[in-house]
C-alpha cells in the first residue's frame, strides 16, 4: 500500500535532512524533487532548451556531478517558473509517490500540487538568516568561496522567485503541519517530524 509524506519549504530549511531521517526510520523511498529542477537547470546552463531538458530527463541525470552548486540552484529556480517544465516533471514524481512501501518527497509544491492527498504534509521553514548560515557552512565545507552575504542574497532571491511565481508557488498546503526549525537542532527537528508521521501512521 502507498503512504506518501510530502515535505515542502524554502531552501536550506532542513527538508532533505528530515526527509532522509523519516525515510530511514520507516523504510520509505525518498525523492529530493529539487534534483529534478537542478538537473534541468544544469542542462540549460549547458545550452539545452528548458522544455527539451525536462522532457528528456532520465534518472541518471539526478546523479550528475555539480548539481549542488549555487549556479545550478539559481538556474533551477529560473526553469521552475515555467509551467510547461513543471508539467513535464509531474508524472515521474507522482509515480514515485505511489510506489508501494511508502515514499517521502521533498520540494516546494509536493503537498499543494504533486500529492494533494498525501497522508502527511509538513512545511519545514526557518528564518532566511538561519538558512543562509546553514548553506554558507555547507558551502565552506564543500570548498565554495561565496561569502555569507552572497549566500543570503541567493537564498532571498530564490525565496522571492519561488513564492511569487504563478505556477505552483511555494506556500504551505492548508492541511500542512508547519515546523519552524530556526531554533531546533537537527535531532530536535527530526524528532518533531517523526512524531507527526508516527501519529498519521497510527490513524
Ligand atoms: O536544496 P535547496 O532547498 O536549496 O533547493 P532545491 O530543493 O534543490 O531546489 C532548487 C530549486 O528548484 C528551488 O529554488 C525551486 O525553484 C525549484 N523547485 C521547485 O520549484 N519545486 C520543487 N518541488 C523542488 C524544487
Ligand atoms: O533540503 P533543504 O535545502 O531544506 O535543507 P537541508 O539540506 O536538509 O539542510 C541544510 C543544512 O542545514 C544542512 O547542512 C543541515 O545539516 C543543516 N541543518 C541544521 O543545521 N539544523 C537543522 N535543524 C536542520 C538542518
38 lines ligand 1 (CB under 6 A): yes
Residue 8 CA to residue 49 CA, distance in Å, equals 27
| Confidence at residue 200, expressed as pLDDT on a 0 to 100 scale | 96
Cα 114 from Cα 107, distance rounded (Å):
10
Whose alpha carbon is nearest atom 3 of ligand 1?
11
Say what the pLDDT of residue 1 is: 76
Ligand (nearest to CA of 35): 1
Contact 5, 33 (CB under 8 A): no
**Per-residue pLDDT tens digits for 111-164:** 999 999 999 999 999 999 999 999 999 988 888 778 999 999 999 999 999 999
Q: What is the pLDDT of residue 171?
A: 96
Q: Is the CB of 12 under 6 A from ligand 1?
A: yes
List of domains in the chain: 4-198 (3.40.50.300)
Atom of ligand 1 nearest to the CA of 13: 3
Rounded to a whole number of angstroms, the CA Rg of the chain reads: 16
Q: What integer is the mean pLDDT of 172-177? A: 98
pLDDT of residue 18 exceeding 90: yes
**E strand or H helix at 54:** helix 50-55
Amino acid at each position: 500500500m502507498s503512504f506518501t509524506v510530502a515535505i515542502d519549504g524554502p531552501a536550506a530549511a532542513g527538508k532533505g535532512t528530515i526527509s532522509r531521517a523519516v525515510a530511514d526510520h520507516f523504510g520509505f523511498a525518498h525523492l529530493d524533487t529539487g534534483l529534478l529542477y537542478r538537473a534541468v537547470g544544469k542542462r540549460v546552463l549547458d545550452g539545452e532548451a528548458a522544455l527539451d531538458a525536462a522532457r528528456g530527463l532520465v534518472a541518471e541525470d539526478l546523479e550528475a556531478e555539480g548539481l549542488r552548486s549555487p549556479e545550478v540552484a539559481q538556474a533551477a529556480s529560473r526553469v521552475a517558473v515555467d509551467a510547461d517544465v513543471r508539467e513535464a516533471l509531474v508524472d515521474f514524481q507522482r509515480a514515485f509517490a505511489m510506489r508501494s512501501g511508502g515514499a517521502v518527497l521533498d520540494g516546494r509544491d509536493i503537498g499543494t500540487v504533486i500529492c494533494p492527498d498525501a497522508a502527511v504534509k509538513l512545511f519545514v521553514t526557518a528564518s532566511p538568516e538561519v538558512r543562509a548560515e546553514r548553506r554558507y557552512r555547507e558551502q565552506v565545507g564543500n570548498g565554495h568561496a561565496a561569502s555569507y552575504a552572497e549566500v543570503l542574497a541567493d537564498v532571498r532571491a530564490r525565496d522571492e522567485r519561488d513564492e511569487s511565481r504563478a505556477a505552483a508557488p511555494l506556500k504551505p498546503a492548508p492541511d500542512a503541519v508547519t515546523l519552524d526549525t530556526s531554533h531546533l537542532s537537527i535531532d530536535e527537528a527530526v524528532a518533531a517530524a517523526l512524531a507527526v508521521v508516527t501519529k498519521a501512521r497510527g490513524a
